[in-house]
Amino acid sequence: MQEELVNLSHMEGNLNYISPEQTGRMNRSVDYRTDLYSLGATFYELLTGHPPFESIDLLEFIHNLLSKEPQPPYVSNTAIFPIISKVIMKLLAKNAEDRYQSAEGLKKDLCQIQQAFQRGLSSELDFELAQHDATGRLQIPQKLYGRAPEIRRITEIWEQVLNGNTEMVLIAGYSGVGKTSLVREVQKLGIYVNAWFLEGKFDQYQRTVPYYAFSQALAQLIDMLLAQSDDRLHLWKDDILNAIGQSGAVLSDIIPNLELLIGKQPAVPALGTQETINRMTIVFQSFIRVFSRSQHPLVLFVDDWQWADSASLQLLKALMNDTEMSHLFLIDAYRDNEVYAAHPFIITLNDLKNFHRLSIHSIFLKNLTMENIHELLTDTLSTETASLEALIYEKTQGNPFFILYLLNSLYEEGDIMFDFEHYQWRWSLEHIRQKGISDNVVDLLLQQIQRFPRAIRQTLQVAACIGNNFDIQTLRLILGCSFEDLREHLQRGLDERLLIAKGTFDNLHLYEVSKDTLWLQFVHDRIHQAAYALNEGHDRLEIHLTIARLLADLPDAEVPDSRIFEVVHHYNQSLNLLNSEEEQIRVIQFNLTAFEKAKNSSAYQLALQLIKTVQTILPPQCWQQHYSLAQRVYTALHEALFLNNDYDQADQIFEILKQRLHTTLERVPS
């Protein structure tokens, strides 16, 4: 019977068989329990003649799916026995934890009902369902514990956004405390008003890429637009072009896929320092205003501001200082233990708070209490957990991310196991303590990854060097493996909840190599850090150099503008390994290209950083043997120092230029 039930659960082509978590808005990953929901919806329609929810409007359907309970089947059809209705309603529970956890548990209840009817018992049969419903898998509930006050506060602020305000919420807390999980609960609020929800994240290993988090978030927006009908695309194109005028090229450097929507943009004229900053500010504000409207409010979540570049901080100020902006909800998360009074992000916040119209709200997330841990363990293990609670708190201090991975680690190593004879979870506290579990979650993650086969470890190592986000096509080329092998290796990372697919693919076996490339992301910075830590010293530099060379030698002769910062980042990590003057010169030219793009985007600190890097690898006799290149580098260095208000250093470089340049005309800035 179990096999038949599973087969029934894979009906396709009917929106009404989608489960709440499949909408992508429930802050949950999709697992096999979605099939049990689909099975319940199938039974419901078979017995009542209609699906649990009916609507021709997609938003109304999703609202019903997330917020309303379907009418019990026996109400629609009095011939249905209440106990059967009760079984179906359990299959259709909103939360996966409240459904049947296995087809076997459902089978046992159905068999019990069948046997009771065969014995002639009345239709009033009733008993507690799912008494023999156990998979032996550790299923930690995917819900937030101890965050009700914070959710209420964000909901109140969201109401102000719906009224037309621009609001900003700062969410501070240690790594792993649940900042991102809290924010993703906001997604559910936006469903009912057709809101855009965009998400970007700064990366500690990608600080040389300007506007890194904004680029991620806005690329998501363009992808969503490109998925719409041709008629809608034309409307969006017109709205965007009307807003940004002839300055679209300024945004193309931040949003590489923008030109797929609005076409190739003409080059913008060179301007002075302040004029360039003003142009970037105006164009960016105008672009965002297209999408933050009463018809579709905009939620922009940017994480890890402690790693932000200076140009991104300027964009943040531009958004919040825009008096014409409305219906915009900025949610900014950062690690308060990694910033200080003179940190650029804190200085930016202080500047913003001094602006009279701004509404800036602060939420400081703390670790879970013993009471919260008790609730989590009770929901997970369904038994008395007092002895385990103390150990979990001792090792994690209530950090949600640490708790999750410690519990999974104990389960995977057999320290927490399910006793099928007595249908309950068991553990040996003494045995767990004897193992000397590390208090450092990165050590736990390293141990978990090191248990993987070598090929899977290597895949995660290389992926970590690419970045927190990586695409599987690039990864495959670097590893030189087949798509099928790579898919198998990455699937292990997905199964172990180390990775998440960015898009609609939670399972790579559904993904075809012929489709556009798929992006994946490490679930948490700590996992990225652990995978990156597997690479040590020279090996790590070799991987970065391999990535750089691969990206620099893509089939299209020239490196695409959208990847120039990526190429430069990896090359600049491995400069000491460059073994030919020819490649050094090529790297210098890449950095010069990136310098120009950073300068034109008002990312002046990054521009200076790039050109200083270039200076360290100029050939010894550069002025004699590579005069034109040396001229470009020192002229760019002088300009970068001037743009960053380092006038003393700029004067020193100018003196070098006066001595080295051949003609008076060359000494005049273009």
pLDDT of residue 402: 86
Examine the domain organization and report whether 226 and 297 are in the same domain. yes
Examine the domain organization and report whether 272 and 404 are in the same domain. no
Q: pLDDT tier at 21 (50, 70, 90 boundaries)?
A: low
pLDDT in tens, 532-576: 887 776 788 888 999 899 888 765 545 666 678 888 999 998 898
Q: Between 212-226 and 310-320, two packed helices, what is the crossing angle to 10 degrees?
A: 60
Question: What is the domain-level CATH number for residue 93?
Answer: 1.10.510.10
Cα–Cα distance, 349 to 317 (Å, whole number)? 9
Cα–Cα distance, 513 to 526 (Å, whole number)? 30
Place of tokens 């680029």: 215
In angstroms, what CA-CA distances link 403 with 372, 388, 414, 502? 11, 12, 17, 25
Examine the domain organization and report whether 348 and 386 are in the same domain. no
Higher pLDDT, 597 or 516: 597
- Which of 217, 213, 233 has the alpha carbon at shortest distance from 307? 213
Which residue, 315, 342, 364, sits at the end of a domain?
364
Q: pLDDT tier at 467 (50, 70, 90 boundaries)?
A: confident
Which residue, 421, 439, 457, sits at the end of a domain?
439
Place of tokens 């030698």: 553
| DSSP at 119 | T
The answer to whether 590 and 571 are in contact (CB under 8 A) is yes
Burial status of residue 122 (CB atoms within 10 A of its CB: 0-12, 13-18, 19 or more):
exposed
Examine the domain organization and report whether 251 and 106 are in the same domain. no
pLDDT in tens, 171-190: 999 888 889 888 887 777 77
pLDDT for 511 beyond 50: no
Question: What is the domain-level CATH number for residue 198?
Answer: 3.40.50.300
Q: How far apart are the first and last CA of the chain?
A: 79
Burial status of residue 312 (CB atoms within 10 A of its CB: 0-12, 13-18, 19 or more):
buried
Within 13 Å, how many C-alpha atoms sit on residue 367's CB side?
17
Please report whether residue 535 resides in a domain: no
Please report whether residue 586 resides in a domain: no
Q: pLDDT tier at 4 (50, 70, 90 boundaries)?
A: very low
Examine the domain organization and report whether 104 and 57 are in the same domain. yes
pLDDT in tens, 135-144: 778 888 878 8
Q: What is the mean pLDDT of the chain?
A: 82
pLDDT for 505 beyond 60: no
**Mean pLDDT on 523-531:** 83
Examine the domain organization and report whether 214 and 343 are in the same domain. yes
Instruction: Cite the DSSP H helix spans in 559-646.
Output: 564-573, 581-600, 604-616, 622-625, 627-643
Domain total in the chain: 3
Examine the domain organization and report whether 296 and 414 are in the same domain. no
Examine the domain organization and report whether 10 and 78 are in the same domain. yes
Examine the domain organization and report whether 356 and 400 are in the same domain. no
Please report whether residue 231 resides in a domain: yes
pLDDT of residue 20: 57
pLDDT for 13 beyond 80: no
Q: pLDDT tier at 6 (50, 70, 90 boundaries)?
A: very low
C-alpha angle 620-624-625 in degrees, rounded to nearest 5: 75
The answer to whether 584 and 630 are in contact (CB under 8 A) is no
Cα–Cα distance, 253 to 305 (Å, whole number)? 21
The SS3 of residue 331 is strand
pLDDT in tens, 350-372: 888 887 556 689 999 999 999 99
pLDDT of residue 152: 92
Cα–Cα distance, 351 to 317 (Å, whole number)? 8
- Which of 38, 1, 44 has the alpha carbon at shortest distance from 17? 38
Beta bridge mates, 360: 168
CB atoms within 10 A of CB 387: 10
pLDDT for 73 beyond 70: yes
pLDDT of residue 439: 59
Domain housing 339: 148-364
pLDDT in tens, 198-249: 999 998 877 777 888 998 899 889 988 988 888 999 999 999 999 998 888 8
Q: What is the CA radius of gyration of the chain?
A: 28
pLDDT of residue 243: 92
Please report whether residue 73 resides in a domain: yes
Which residue, 406, 424, 439, sits at the end of a domain?
439
Please report whether residue 214 resides in a domain: yes
**Mean pLDDT on 600-610:** 86
Edge-to-edge strands of the sheet including 469-471?
469-471, 519-522, 499-502
Higher pLDDT, 670 or 90: 90
Examine the domain organization and report whether 158 and 285 are in the same domain. yes
The DSSP result for 239-262, as a single string, is: HHHHHHTT-HHHHHTT-GGGHHHH
Please report whether residue 491 resides in a domain: no
pLDDT of residue 375: 93
**Mean pLDDT on 81-99:** 86
In angstroms, what CA-CA distances link 254 with 159, 211, 280? 30, 7, 11
Examine the domain organization and report whether 323 and 189 are in the same domain. yes
pLDDT of residue 666: 53
Structure tokens at 251: 């945004």
Q: pLDDT tier at 22 (50, 70, 90 boundaries)?
A: low
Residue 596's contacts (CB-CB under 8 Å, 6 or more residues apart) are none
Please report whether residue 509 resides in a domain: no
Cα–Cα distance, 173 to 201 (Å, whole number)? 15
The answer to whether 109 and 64 are in contact (CB under 8 A) is no
Listed range (319-333, 405-419, 546-560, 624-638) with the worst mean pLDDT: 546-560
Higher pLDDT, 543 or 497: 543
**Mean pLDDT on 398-402:** 89
The identity of residue 384, as a single letter, is E
**Mean pLDDT on 90-112:** 85
pLDDT for 288 beyond 90: yes
The answer to whether 529 and 442 are in contact (CB under 8 A) is yes
pLDDT of residue 537: 67
Please report whether residue 127 resides in a domain: no
Examine the domain organization and report whether 208 and 302 are in the same domain. yes
The answer to whether 99 and 130 are in contact (CB under 8 A) is no
- The model carries a pTM of 0.75
